[in-house]
Amino acid sequence: MLNESDLTALAITLKLAGLSTLILLLLGTPLAWWLARTRWRFKFLLEAVVALPLVLPPTVLGFYLLVALGPHGPVGGAMEALGGRPLAFTFTGLVIGSVFYSMPFVVQPLQDAFTAVGRRPLEVAATLRASPLDRFFTVALPLARAGFFTAAVLGFAHTLGEFGVVLMIGGNIPGETQVVSIAIYDHVEGLEYTHAHWLSAGLLLMSFLMLAAVYALNRRFRVVQP
Amino acid sequence: MSIEVRFRIDRGEFSLDVDLSVPAHGVTSLFGPSGCGKTTLLRAIAGLERHRDGFLKVGDMIWQAAERFVPPHRRPLGYVFQEASLFAHLSVRRNLEYGVKRVPEDQRRVALTQAIDLLGIGPLLERRPDRLSGGERQRVAIARALAVSPRLLLMDEPLAGLDVNRKQEILPYIESLHNQLDIPVIYVSHSPDEVARLADHLVLLEAGRVVATGGIHEMLTRLDSPLAHGTDAETLIEAAVAGHDDTYHLTHLDFAGGRFTVVRKPLPVGSTVRLRVAARDVSLTLEHQSGTSILNIFPATVDELIPEGEAQVMVRLMVGGVPMLARVTRKSASVLDLRPGKPVYAQAKSVALLS
């Protein structure tokens, strides 16, 4: 069965996935909206940057984040200068890493959903006296709601399975940055296969259920292949 | 009061250059082949597309001038798109209420119930848009546009995507708007049939330029207008119901040039109707025929004639001051010696009632 440190790792994992998903929805919505509507000719460059974590080894992303967030990096250095501590090997650092790592899983379904809504409903709303912000909240958001569901579930599930980035910038500090995927690795290293089984099966089942929900409730939208 | 429209739009292979003034009442039809710029012009009038070089004044409201551009949501207009474009996430009722809620109460002049009754959509209110037929959807879209109490209603081929039966279902509703609400309408169409039924005023567009503009009766019978040619050339005549003949089951319709007699229609005496006489159904004689089955014969004067292909001639007649087209063969024109000023008798073989 699960011991206390396993439960702590599980709690940290869920907290990390939940917080990252929330931040991603808040940042990803305006970004996806802009990407879906702009006619800027270099928009493909930004789309490629957003999609990078799909193909990049997580260690590469983790390495750069470590450099940036560490005491000698631009972000970490600035934090230190302001009297804080560097973000590497902290929970906050993990959240920042996860936001980058799971970005395409949130932004792409949202962008697809906004593109599928099209211009017409927004034009209709304009002729019915709705201001641009009003149109976004009363027409674009409700029509794209299936995309939000997909984005939230994929962002959450993908963050659960994070390993390489976490190891690079979070280290393996029990109670602070040790997540389930790393706890499993530790158990296997220590030949504690029973514990590894329980955690792995739990993660497997949770991920399967979430993806099944996405595919069942939401057949109209393209789902990014993890 | 009038609507003044000036736009210069240049998009490389397509350019639109329009300087127009149309009456701010009745139905003005923008008519022309597809690709002539009708929809572009309508979208520019709505402000859905912003063009730098434009001026737009509707009655006393300036919607666009040199430095001024009123965004579409601040223009008191209604817009009916070619596809109904109902909000899929809202019921019919909430679709209708969407616009009404955003109009200040002191500017509401069309009650929601009035719009619902006019379009006959009372029984549909709780349905979702995807549970409606194409015709029902378009009726809801028209009611939705009316319910914002527009000072100008723009309609972009609202019947184009519908089959003949659905068109017949909706046309009477659009006609009734005309009679019951005093809202000017700009109606984009490429169907001569719709124009004949609905329009009071016509703007002919071709390749982004205004070819001709004027009242519908005049425009249909002007020999320099493309509408006055071909097999569908026709004359529209407004007539008043003078009385009914119970013995033979007929209805008499009076106009400035005389009296039409048609198969009895359930119309109140004194009401006005719009009649359509196809140019190919009008024949000409030099003397008043007596031994004929044709009931509708009018003394007329030849006003103008123009060859119509190799074998035919389009003749514009004046019948008591009302223009009427007749299409005859070139041979007949020569035998009858038709020329401007010549008195003739026009025989209309068949007459259609439009409303």
Q: Which domains does chain A have, with CATH numbers?
A: 4-38+45-109+146-221 (1.10.3720.10)
Burial (0-12, 13-18, 19+ Cβ within 10 Å), A78:
exposed
Is the pLDDT confidence value at A168 over 80? yes
C-alpha distance from residue A11 to each of A17, A99, A100, A180 (Å):
10, 18, 21, 9
- The distance of A152 to chain B (nearest Cα, Å) reads 20
Residue B205's DSSP bridge partners are B210
Query: Are B72 and A130 in contact (CB < 8 Å)?
Result: no
Which helix (H) or strand (E) element contains residue A170?
helix A164-170
Residue B324's DSSP bridge partners are B317
CB half-sphere exposure, B352, CA atoms < 13 A: 12
Strand order in the sheet with B54-58: B61-64, B54-58, B2-11, B14-23, B209-215, B201-206, B27-31, B185-189, B152-156, B77-80
Q: Worst-scoring range by mean pLDDT, A68-72, A102-106, A111-115, A130-134?
A: A68-72
Nearest to B125 by CA among B104, B110, B149, B147: B147
- The distance of A24 to chain B (nearest Cα, Å) reads 25
Q: Worst-scoring range by mean pLDDT, A81-95, A107-121, B32-46, B51-65?
A: A81-95
Q: Is A91 helix (H, G, I), strand (E, B) or coil?
A: helix
Question: By the CB < 8 Å criterion, does A116 face chain B?
Answer: no
Query: Are B89 and A126 in contact (CB < 8 Å)?
Result: no
Q: Name the residue in chain B with its Cα closest to that of A126.
A: B73
Q: Which residues of A touch B85 (CB under 8 A)?
A: 120-121, 123-124
Query: Are B89 and A127 in contact (CB < 8 Å)?
Result: no
ipTM of the complex: 0.81
Number of residues assigned to chain A: 226
SS3 helix, strand, coil % of chain B, rounded to 5? Answer: 25, 40, 35
Q: Which residues of B touch A131 (CB under 8 A)?
A: 73
pLDDT by position in tens, chain B (length 355): 899 999 998 888 888 999 999 998 889 999 988 888 899 999 999 999 988 889 999 999 999 998 889 999 999 999 999 999 999 999 999 999 999 999 998 888 888 898 898 888 999 999 999 999 888 999 999 999 999 999 999 999 988 878 888 888 788 888 877 777 888 999 998 888 888 888 899 999 988 899 889 888 888 888 877 778 877 788 989 899 999 999 999 999 999 999 999 999 888 998 888 899 999 999 999 998 888 889 999 999 999 999 988 899 999 999 988 999 999 999 999 999 999 999 999 999 989 888 6
Closest Cβ–Cβ partner in A124, A130, A131 for B85:
A124
Question: By the CB < 8 Å criterion, does A121 face chain B?
Answer: yes
Pairing of strands B61-64, B312-319: unpaired
Residue B346's DSSP bridge partners are B284, B298
Question: By the CB < 8 Å criterion, does B103 face chain A?
Answer: yes
* pLDDT recorded at residue A1: 67
Average pLDDT of the segment spanning A29-42: 93
Q: In whole angstroms, what is the distance from residue A153 CA to residue A211 CA?
A: 7
Nearest to B16 by CA among B209, B261, B292, B155: B209
Q: Is B261 helix (H, G, I), strand (E, B) or coil?
A: strand
Is the pLDDT confidence value at A114 over 80? yes
Two structure tokens written together for B233: 């050339």
Question: By the CB < 8 Å criterion, does A74 face chain B?
Answer: no
Interface of B with A in 16-75 (CB under 8 A): 46, 48, 71-74
> Residue type at A61?
L
Average pLDDT of the segment spanning A76-92: 77
Is the pLDDT confidence value at A218 over 70? no
Q: Confidence band (pLDDT; 50, 70, 90) for A219?
A: low
Count of A-B CB contacts under 8 Å: 58
Question: By the CB < 8 Å criterion, does A209 face chain B?
Answer: no
Average pLDDT of the segment spanning A54-72: 86
Cβ count near A175 (within 10 Å):
12
Residue B344's DSSP bridge partners are B300
More confident position, B309 or A121: A121
Q: Name the residue in chain B with its Cα closest to that of A131.
A: B73
Is the pLDDT confidence value at A128 over 50? yes
CB proximity list for B246: less than 8 A, separation 6 or greater: none
Question: By the CB < 8 Å criterion, does A126 face chain B?
Answer: yes
Q: In whole angstroms, what is the distance from residue B214 CA to residue B211 CA?
A: 11
Query: Are A126 and B48 in contact (CB < 8 Å)?
Result: yes
Pairing of strands B343-348, B282-285: antiparallel
Q: Which residues of B touch A124 (CB under 8 A)?
A: 79, 81, 85, 87
Selected for mutation to probe chain B from A39, A117, A124, A143 (highest B CB count within 10 Å) is: A124
* pLDDT recorded at residue A121: 95
Dihedral angle computed from the Cα positions of residues B206, B211, B214 and B217, in that order, rounded to the nearest 10 degrees: -70
